[in-house]
Amino acid sequence: MDEVALVRCTDYDRAAVERAVERVFSLCGGAERFVQPGMRVLIKLNLLMKRTPDRATTTHPEVARAVAFAVQKAGGVPVFADSPGGPFTRGMLAGVYDTCGIRAVAEELGCALNDDFSVTTRTFPEGDAAKQLDLIGVLDRVDAVITVGKLKTHGLTTMTGCVKNLYGCVPGTTKVEYHARYPQAELFSRMLVDLCACVKPCFALLDAVEGMEGEGPSGGRPRTIGALVGGENPHQVDAVGAALIGLDPESVTTLRAAKRRGLLGPYSCVGDPIETLIVRDFDIPMRTKRSGWVNMVNRLPQALRPRPVFTHRRCDGCGTCERACPAKAIHMDEHRRPQVDLTRCIRCYCCQELCPKTDVEVRRNPLVSLLHERGKQ
Ligand code: SF4
Ligand code: SF4
């Protein structure tokens, strides 16, 4: 049976994170099992946007550092990479690396920040939803990938971890096209499972020291979970992440898609006992922890599904949401305030995910909320 390592790590103290990451690898047979001397290893971080680490939106630099250090100790050559929303360019990434604290880590360890902005196309005949994927070109020039996700709530997939993190292997604005091509949560998640099988990370590590609850993946609140999770199978690592925040795996659309494909086999959790780390009141607003409800929400007609609401309280008119909207449902009015046409909106929640001012909320239809409250009684 596969094993997933779960290790307590209560804060981002450098020595503590380094010890915890080393223990995760060691419980899985050691970093040398996954990284051979001379291998170029792409460390795929979650660098969703230009945010400082204390906001719990991006993979913490101490976790990135400890993983890169482990790769170096095993004789590998780490390369940090991600393609967040917006254009996949050197200029755009420079600000992200700086603000997220990753440039400082790379300079300290002497490891590379990806500066290859080419795109590669991989055919993937065995794919379920995606038979061909456009990916960041650096993937063709590395020997292995380690996905280092951040445990957060997510409007579309309920939770983001190590599998959804790989969506950053799709270059820049191509992500907008993919949201349009795979508009429903179920279909989008099947594509993500294909993407994971195509990129084939050799190891997955989940930063669940500080997660994000509430309006994740960018508009929520940091919440201490106090754990690092790691293993060979990113779906199993995410399943342990889901359990840590009290979510039934069936309520996470990527986990459900992986299970249906036979990719979420049985596993045992080694390391610290999971019962001692579960956060029972983790706030997951748009869905509940009950999978039946999530299944119901996913089947609702579009008009009844949770909708994006622009509050215009903090909006500075930057236009990121308008550019990111795959359905072209947003336009900026004469006061540079975004207005949404809900009849066109496909409920992908990219506007909420990418708004730098957390001005976009995802709200339930009042009728559905009422049914939900009744269902809880
Ligand atoms: S809602 Fe957010 S992303 Fe859209 S224009 Fe305003 S600040 Fe920018
Ligand atoms: S308005 Fe927001 S949720 Fe609707 S399609 Fe556009 S980006 Fe997606």
Running DSSP on this structure, what letter comes out for residue 7? E
Is the pLDDT assigned to residue 289 strictly greater than 50? no
Atom 7 (ligand 1) nearest CA: 315
Q: How many other CB atoms are found less than 10 A from the CB of residue 343?
A: 9
Residue 311 Cα to ligand 1 midpoint, Å, equals 10
Does 376 have pLDDT greater than 60? no
Nearest by Cα to 45 from 116, 115, 150, 119? 150
pLDDT in tens, 78-118: 999 999 988 999 999 999 999 999 999 999 999 999 999 99
Which atom from ligand 1 is nearest to the alpha carbon of 357?
7
CB of 156 closer than 8 Å to CB of 185: yes
Query: In percent, how much of the chain has pLDDT > 90?
Result: 87
CA 161 to centroid of ligand 2, rounded, Å: 22
Residue with tokens 């794919």: 127
Cα–chain center distance at 216: 10
Is the minimum distance from the CB of 310 to ligand 1 under 6 angstroms? yes
Single-letter amino acid, residue 279: V
Contact in structure between 73 and 59 (CB atoms under 8 Å): no
> Rounded to the nearest whole angstrom, what is the distance from the C-alpha of residue 337 to the centroid of ligand 1?
8
Ramachandran angles phi, psi of 109, nearest 5°:
-90, -10
Residue nearest ligand 2's atom 6 by CA: 325
CA pair distance 303, 294, nearest whole angstrom: 16
3-state secondary structure of 87: coil
pLDDT tens figures, 179-211: 999 999 999 999 999 999 999 999 999 999 999
Is the CB of 318 within 6 Å of ligand 1? yes
- pLDDT bracket for residue 301 (50, 70, 90): confident
Q: Could you say which ligand is closest to the alpha carbon of residue 156?
A: 2
Structural domains of the chain sorted by starting position, each given as residue range(s) with its CATH number in brackets? 2-276 (3.40.50.11440), 302-376 (3.30.70.3270)
Which contacts (CB < 8 Å, 24+ apart) does range 340-346 have? Answer: 340/307, 340/308, 340/310, 342/303, 342/307, 345/302, 345/307, 345/308, 346/179, 346/180, 346/183, 346/184, 346/302
Q: Helix count (H) and strand count (E) of the chain?
A: 12, 15
Q: Report the C-alpha gap between 87 and 210 in whole angstroms.
A: 28
Look up residue 72 and give its two tokens.
Answer: 């170096």
86 lines ligand 1 (CB under 6 A): no
CA distance 221 to 214: 6
Average pLDDT along the chain: 93
Query: Could you tell which of 322, 331, 347, 364 is best to mutate to test the pocket of ligand 2, judged by most ligand atoms within 8 Å of the CB?
Result: 347
pLDDT computed for residue 86 by the predictor:
86
